[in-house]
């Protein structure tokens, strides 16, 4: 707005009405000094209350209005405007009503006041007075105000003229001031003035019954008529008038920089969720006060965290303690555990996929190489990938049968187990990926501390659990009823039970206190579920062991392990034919009347019966209900029987393997062997039927592992895999959920082999006839299947 | 503590593992097999990525949370186990 600013540089518009500008200037001098708030500004000063300030008179004092404070000090604000002496100050005739419209700018400037002239108006100086009054009210001192106002009132005559000289005087006056005056601090207070009423015409209400009522009504009517007649009436002319806005003046003020801060936040739905829950959850106080949570007490996951680059200054010791805390925290250990497993998965992924029988994908580079050097790469690839060409071949030519083979996938081995020999392996009953392996010494003479480890499929490089045992482990088995119990039998005859859930080494139960424990190595132990139909308890589990002291014992788990004898294996005299002519020999002096037992197996269907193999080479069929006598004895082996195994499908047949290089297939009703398999001149340490197929079993002798398929050949194994020259295979275990084979050896390594291209599993019962030829070259056996429902014998005959 | 150290050592010794890094929440390495500048770089970048991943997971379902992060690139695989207080980073060359 062009208020007083306009006055400063005499605007051409104003020159016309010269006087006013002068007064403007004057007014500007005064009111420019005082800040007037809009409230007061708005009020156009039309006071005709006679408080006309005689500016001239004031000036005539040769002084500007002066302001004094309490102490009489002259605190007259100095003018902001120094009028140019050269400019002509026109006489100012009438008065300017100041209207102040001030600073609609609202900048709160001192200079924001404008005077505008009203043409010929009795303009009141009221404005002056007003402004003055208002400005005076802004003075700190009321009394001064009073005095000044009084002065004004005294000279209540119109402003006449304003002399240029006055300004001069003013200026001269100004020059007289000293430096201290100039430097004096001036306080300016801005306040709001009271409301100034310009026109107040309260409406008057007259009662209808009063005497004036008629007149009032008449007048109202006339007024309404006038209003109606107004548009279009000659008597009423609309006239526009331009008001001149005063010039605006800018005032700059310097102040301290206002510091602005922007804070932005990304609100996410989880942030809201957390904040909502924080009020419900007790805030976790962090001892180190690690996170600078601005304003929030506990929520460390708020999105504020993201934006903060939290680097707190800490003392060194605190850091160390904190890092220790991190490393030992439970969470960290678990994460490490997962990380290791994931690493393993990355390393072993193709092998594990083959284990799980997934179709493995081919990597592109491999394909190209394949064309180049087929043979060499095929071998490498075979380890990991299934060659697509073979697959497609199979699809095309179903008649062409690829021979089964054993594929070595990986082996469970670590530093710990190096040097031990694998004596026994057992699957966990609930988790088919969990394997328990017992390590002892291969040679019976060198006995050292043994080890029982639980390996998981997910980490082939380090066992999940390590249980160190005092003596070499010779047998172990997982429990069925409480799958976390692992029973371990040792070379000194003691039996220990471990809890696999806990990580520590301590045994849950020990047989050391038992008075009846074995005095010889426990060669086999098994948890057996038994139908206690008599008591009607349902299935109950018992731990049965057989050991070299000739006893088969059942262990009870009460407060401590204790056992009772199920059976004592008495030595049976061998039915040697006495040579004619020989005198009757004296009975051999026996150290013990008991024959060491090597192995046993309970009948899969009826757990009352079991077989026991002895060191003499005899296999006894025994019953739990009778512990005096054997039900039957099978003689055929010439060396210690290392393993007996019932066929899980044809439950009348069982296998036995022995140190006399042979594996014998028996029928439980026949005292003589049905079939003998001998393929090598090495002790056969272990044999196991395949859980999926009735005709397949795996056997391991010292130099190789063999897979026999009775439906294919009874003379030779269908496939075999040789061991490393210095290593002897000691035990075998077939996986239930996949076509894989585990072979333990004397170096402590458990190798996992995949059985590929084996004949389709069938668990039809195999019935062997009795007719056979005892020809050593062509031992032919006629046997036939019991055909499954729907199939005909002819089909089966065609197949084979 | 010894067990933790042992496990860490085993992880570092595995086939193909390029580096193992444990950093705390401020990005200060607690255990590392790389030089400091690379460690700090990895820690800073992965921290941001983990935050973003966690934010993504939780945005979809606030009751869910991020447990593991794996980034497979041409040369390496970076595996990150995030936690409120630390980051466990393992960089591995996948087999073959």
Q: How many other CB atoms sit within 10 Å of the CB of residue A248?
A: 23
Residue A53: strand, helix, or coil = coil
Q: Which residues in A lie closer than 8 A to residue B8 (C-beta atoms)?
A: 336
Q: Which residues in B lie closer than 8 A to residue A326 (C-beta atoms)?
A: 22, 24, 30, 85-86
Cα separation values, A397 from A370, A378, A502, A796, Å? 22, 20, 53, 21
Nearest CA of chain A to the CA of B15: how many Å?
A: 7
Instruction: Mark yes or no for CB contact B62/A270 under 8 Å.
Output: yes
Assigned token pair, A155: 């000279």
Q: Is residue A379 part of a domain?
A: no
- How far is residue A708 CA from its own chain's centroid? 50
Closest CA to A742 of A791, A686, A795: A686
Query: What's the domain count of chain B?
Result: 1
Instruction: Mark yes or no for CB contact A268/B90 under 8 Å.
Output: no
Token pair 């994908």: residue: A361
Q: Is residue B33 part of a domain?
A: yes
Find the helix or strand (DSSP H, E) in which A34 lies. Answer: none
Q: Chain B contact for A66, CB < 8 A?
A: no
Q: Is residue B3 part of a domain?
A: no
Q: Domain with B75 in it: what CATH number?
A: 3.30.450.30
Instruction: Mark yes or no for CB contact A332/B88 under 8 Å.
Output: yes
Lateral strand order in the sheet of A632-635: A597-602, A609-614, A618-623, A632-635
Chain B: residue whose CA lies nearest to A286: B85
Find the helix or strand (DSSP H, E) in which A690 lies. Answer: none
Find the helix or strand (DSSP H, E) in which A16 lies. Answer: helix A12-16
Nearest CA of chain A to the CA of B34: how many Å?
A: 18
Q: Is residue B4 part of a domain?
A: no
Can you give the residue range of the structural domain that contains B84? 14-92
Phi-psi region of A183 (alpha: psi -120 to 50; beta: other; left: phi over 0): alpha
Q: How many other CB atoms sit within 10 Å of the CB of residue A193?
A: 18
Assigned token pair, A85: 């002496």
Nearest CA of chain A to the CA of B35: how many Å?
A: 18
Instruction: Mark yes or no for CB contact A332/B95 under 8 Å.
Output: no
Pick from A336, A338, A344: CB nearest B4 = A336
Query: What's the domain count of chain A?
Result: 1
Q: Domain with A544 in it: what CATH number?
A: 2.130.10.10
Closest CA to A800 of A762, A770, A756, A755: A762
Nearest CA of chain A to the CA of B39: how many Å?
A: 16
Q: Is A10 exposed, middle or buried (0-12, 13-18, 19+ CB in 10 A)?
A: buried
CB pairs under 8 A between A and B: 107
Nearest CA of chain B to the CA of A503: how many Å?
A: 11
Pick from B10, B16, B30: CB nearest A462 = B10
Q: β-pairing, A719-722 with A729-734?
A: unpaired
Q: Which of A332, A409, A410 to mutate to test the interface with B (most CBs of B within 10 A)?
A: A332
Q: Is A494 exposed, middle or buried (0-12, 13-18, 19+ CB in 10 A)?
A: buried
Instruction: Mark yes or no for CB contact B79/A343 under 8 Å.
Output: yes
pTM: 0.58
Contact A744, A422 (CB under 8 A): yes
pLDDT at B49 over 90: yes
Find the helix or strand (DSSP H, E) in which A11 lies. Answer: none
Cα separation values, A641 from A457, A474, A520, A651, Å? 32, 15, 17, 20
Token pair 């008597």: residue: A235
Phi and psi at residue A74, to the nearest 5°: -85, 110
Q: Chain A contact for B68, CB < 8 A?
A: yes
Q: What is the mean pLDDT of each run of 10 residues along chain A (800 residues)?
A: 44 43 44 41 41 42 66 75 59 41 38 38 41 42 49 48 46 65 85 88 82 86 86 76 88 88 87 84 45 37 40 48 77 86 83 80 50 44 43 46 80 84 88 88 74 88 87 88 87 87 79 77 85 59 85 79 76 55 51 80 84 87 82 87 88 88 87 84 87 86 86 82 83 86 87 79 52 33 38 42
Q: Is residue B87 part of a domain?
A: yes
Chain B: residue whose CA lies nearest to A274: B62
Give chain B's radius of gyration (CA, Å): 14
Show the CA angle centred on residue A568, arms to residues A565 and A572, nearest 5°.
Answer: 175
Q: Is residue A35 part of a domain?
A: no
Chain A: residue whose CA lies nearest to B5: A327
Q: Is residue B9 part of a domain?
A: no
Q: Chain A contact for B63, CB < 8 A?
A: yes
**For A322-371, what is each residue's pLDDT tens digit?**
777 878 888 888 888 888 888 888 888 888 888 888 876 666 544 444 44
Contact A495, A489 (CB under 8 A): yes
Contact B48, A310 (CB under 8 A): no
Q: Is residue A678 part of a domain?
A: yes
Q: Is residue B2 part of a domain?
A: no
Instruction: Mark yes or no for CB contact A326/B85 under 8 Å.
Output: yes
Instruction: Mark yes or no for CB contact A310/B28 under 8 Å.
Output: no
Q: Chain B contact for A337, CB < 8 A?
A: yes
Q: Is residue A562 part of a domain?
A: yes
Q: Is residue A402 part of a domain?
A: no
Q: Distance (Å, rounded) from C-alpha A739 to C-alpha A355? A: 8
Instruction: Mark yes or no for CB contact B88/A335 under 8 Å.
Output: yes
Half-sphere exposure of A680 (CA within 13 A, CB side): 17
Q: Is residue A487 part of a domain?
A: yes
First to last CA, chain B: 34
Cα separation values, A561 from A290, A494, A553, A558, A620, Å? 53, 10, 12, 6, 27
Nearest CA of chain A to the CA of B33: how many Å?
A: 16
Phi and psi at residue A61, to the nearest 5°: -70, -5
What's the confidence (pLDDT) of residue B70? 93
What is the 3-state composition of chain A as percent helix, strand, coil, each rounded to the nearest 5?
25, 25, 50
What's the confidence (pLDDT) of residue A52? 41
Which residues, listed in sequence order, are joined to residue B72 by a DSSP beta bridge?
B77
Q: Which residues in B lie closer than 8 A to residue A461 (C-beta atoms)?
A: 10, 14
Contact A405, A757 (CB under 8 A): yes
Pairs from A708-711 (Cβ < 8 Å, separation ≥ 24): A708/A663, A708/A677, A709/A404, A709/A758, A709/A759, A710/A766, A711/A759, A711/A762, A711/A766, A711/A800
Contact B80, B69 (CB under 8 A): yes
Phi and psi at residue A330, to the nearest 5°: -60, -40
What's the confidence (pLDDT) of residue A360? 67
Residue B4: strand, helix, or coil = helix
Q: Is residue B75 part of a domain?
A: yes
Q: Distance (Å, rounded) from C-alpha A271 to C-alpha A262? A: 20
What's the confidence (pLDDT) of residue A573? 60
Assigned token pair, A654: 């069982």
Q: Chain B contact for A773, CB < 8 A?
A: no
Q: Chain A contact for B22, CB < 8 A?
A: yes
Q: Which residues in A lie closer than 8 A to residue B62 (C-beta atoms)?
A: 269-270, 272-274
Pick from B7, B62, B96: CB nearest A273 = B62
Closest CA to A188 of A105, A69, A104: A69
Q: Distance (Å, rounded) from C-alpha A131 to C-alpha A108? A: 15
Nearest CA of chain A to the CA of B58: how many Å?
A: 6
Q: Distance (Å, rounded) from C-alpha A81 to C-alpha A189? A: 19
Q: Is residue A732 part of a domain?
A: yes
Instruction: Mark yes or no for CB contact B55/A270 under 8 Å.
Output: yes
Can you give the residue range of the structural domain that contains A553? 407-530+540-571+592-756
Instruction: Mark yes or no for CB contact A342/B11 under 8 Å.
Output: no
Task: Concatenate the DSSP letters of all residues of A447-509 into one string.
Answer: ---EEEEEEETTBTTS-SEEEEESS-EEEEEE-SSSTTEEEEEETTS-EEEEETTS-S---SE
Show the CA angle centred on residue A419, arms to residues A418 and A424, nearest 5°.
Answer: 85
Q: Distance (Å, rounded) from C-alpha A591 to C-alpha A327? A: 59
Q: Distance (Å, rounded) from C-alpha A63 to C-alpha A799? A: 136
Q: Chain A contact for B75, CB < 8 A?
A: no
Q: Chain B contact for A267, CB < 8 A?
A: no
Assigned token pair, A216: 């009032």
Q: Is residue A673 part of a domain?
A: yes
Contact A166, A85 (CB under 8 A): no
Cα separation values, A784 from A453, A512, A635, A768, Å? 43, 52, 27, 7
- How far is residue A738 CA from its own chain's centroid? 33
């Amino acid at each position: 707005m062009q208020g007083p600013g306009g006055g400063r540089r005499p605007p051409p518009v104003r020159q016309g009405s010269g006087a006013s500008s002068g007064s403007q200037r004057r007014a500007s001098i005064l009111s420019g000094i005082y800040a007037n708030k809009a409230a007061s500004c708005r009020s156009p000063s039309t006071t005709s209350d006679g408080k006309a300030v005689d500016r001239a008179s004031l000036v005539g004092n040769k002084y500007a209005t002066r302001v004094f404070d309490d102490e009489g000090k002259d605190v007259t604000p100095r003018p902001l405007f120094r009028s140019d002496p050269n400019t002509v100050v026109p006489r100012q005739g009438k008065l300017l009503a100041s209207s102040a419209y001030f600073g609609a700018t609202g900048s709160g400037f001192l200079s924001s006041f404008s005077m505008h002239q009203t043409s010929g108006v009795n303009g009141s100086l009221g404005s002056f007075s007003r402004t003055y009054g208002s400005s005076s009210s802004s003075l700190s001192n009321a009394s001064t105000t009073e005095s000044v106002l009084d002065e004004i009132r005294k000279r209540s005559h119109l402003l006449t003229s304003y002399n240029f000289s006055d300004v001069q005087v003013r200026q001269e006056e100004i020059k007289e001031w000293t430096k201290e005056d100039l430097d004096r601090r001036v306080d300016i207070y801005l306040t709001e003035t009271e409301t100034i009423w310009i026109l107040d015409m309260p409406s008057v209400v007259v009662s209808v019954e009063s005497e004036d009522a008629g007149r009032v009504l008449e007048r109202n009517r006339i007024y309404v008529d006038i209003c109606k007649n107004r548009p279009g009436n000659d008597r009423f002319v609309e006239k526009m008038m331009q008001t001149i806005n005063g010039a605006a003046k800018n005032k700059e003020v310097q102040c301290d920089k206002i510091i602005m801060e922007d804070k932005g936040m990304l609100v996410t739905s989880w942030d809201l969720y957390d904040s909502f829950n924080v009020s419900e959850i007790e805030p976790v106080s962090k001892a180190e006060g690690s996170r600078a949570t601005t304003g929030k007490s506990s929520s460390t996951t708020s999105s504020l965290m993201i934006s903060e680059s939290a680097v707190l200054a800490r003392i060194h010791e605190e850091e160390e303690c904190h890092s220790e805390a991190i490393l030992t925290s439970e969470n960290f250990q678990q994460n490490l555990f997962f990380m290791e497993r994931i690493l393993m998965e990355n390393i072993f992924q193709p092998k594990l996929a083959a284990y799980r029988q997934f179709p493995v994908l081919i990597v592109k580079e491999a394909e190209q190489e394949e064309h180049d050097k087929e043979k060499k790469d095929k071998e490498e690839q075979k380890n990991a990938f299934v060659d697509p060409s073979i697959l497609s071949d199979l699809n095309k030519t179903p008649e062409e049968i690829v021979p089964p083979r054993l594929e070595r996938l990986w082996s469970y081995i670590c530093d710990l187990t190096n040097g031990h020999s694998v004596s026994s392996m057992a699957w966990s009953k609930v988790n088919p990926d969990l394997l328990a392996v017992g390590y002892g010494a291969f040679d019976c003479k060198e006995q050292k501390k043994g080890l029982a480890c639980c390996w998981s499929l997910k980490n082939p490089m380090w066992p999940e659990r390590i249980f160190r045992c005092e003596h070499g482990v010779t047998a172990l088995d997982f429990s069925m009823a409480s799958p976390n119990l692992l029973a371990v039998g040792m070379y000194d005859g003691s039996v220990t039970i471990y809890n696999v859930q806990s990580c520590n080494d301590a045994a849950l139960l020990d047989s050391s206190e038992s008075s009846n424990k074995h005095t010889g190595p426990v060669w086999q132990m098994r948890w057996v579920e038994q139908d206690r139909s008599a008591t009607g308890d349902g299935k109950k589990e018992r731990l049965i062991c057989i050991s070299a002291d000739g006893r088969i014992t059942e262990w009870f788990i009460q407060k401590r392990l204790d056992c009772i004898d199920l059976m004592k294996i008495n030595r049976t005299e061998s039915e040697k034919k006495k040579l004619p002519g020989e005198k009757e020999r004296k009975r051999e002096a026996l150290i013990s009347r008991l024959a060491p037992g090597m192995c046993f197996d309970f009948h899969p269907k009826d757990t009352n019966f079991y077989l026991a193999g002895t060191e003499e080479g005899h296999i006894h069929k025994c019953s739990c209900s009778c512990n005096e006598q054997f039900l039957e004895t099978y003689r055929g082996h010439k060396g210690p029987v290392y393993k007996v195994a019932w066929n899980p499908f044809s439950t009348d047949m069982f296998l036995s393997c022995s140190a006399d290089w042979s594996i014998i297939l028996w029928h439980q009703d026949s005292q003589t062997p049905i079939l003998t398999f001998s393929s090598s001149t090495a002790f056969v340490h272990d044999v196991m039927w395949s859980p999926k197929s009735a005709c397949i079993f795996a056997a391991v002798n010292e130099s190789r592992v063999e897979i026999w398929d009775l439906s294919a050949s009874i003379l030779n194994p269908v496939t075999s895999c040789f061991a490393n020259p210095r290593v002897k295979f000691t035990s075998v275990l077939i996986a239930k959920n996949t076509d894989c084979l585990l072979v333990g050896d004397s170096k402590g390594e458990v190798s996992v082999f995949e059985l590929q291209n084996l004949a389709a599993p069938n668990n039809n019962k195999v019935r062997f006839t009795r007719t056979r030829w005892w020809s050593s070259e062509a031992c032919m056996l006629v046997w036939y299947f019991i055909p499954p429902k729907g199939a005909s014998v002819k089909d089966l005959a065609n197949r084979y | 503590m010894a067990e933790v150290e042992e496990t860490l050592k085993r992880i570092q010794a595995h086939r193909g593992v390029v580096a193992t890094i444990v950093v705390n929440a401020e990005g200060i390495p607690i255990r590392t097999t790389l030089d400091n500048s690379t460690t700090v770089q990895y820690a800073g970048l992965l921290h941001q990525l983990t935050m973003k991943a966690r934010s993504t997971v939780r945005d979809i379902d606030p009751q869910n949370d991020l447990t593991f992060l794996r980034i497979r690139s041409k040369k390496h695989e970076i595996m990150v186990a995030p936690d409120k207080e630390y980051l466990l980073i393992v960089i591995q060359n996948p087999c073959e």
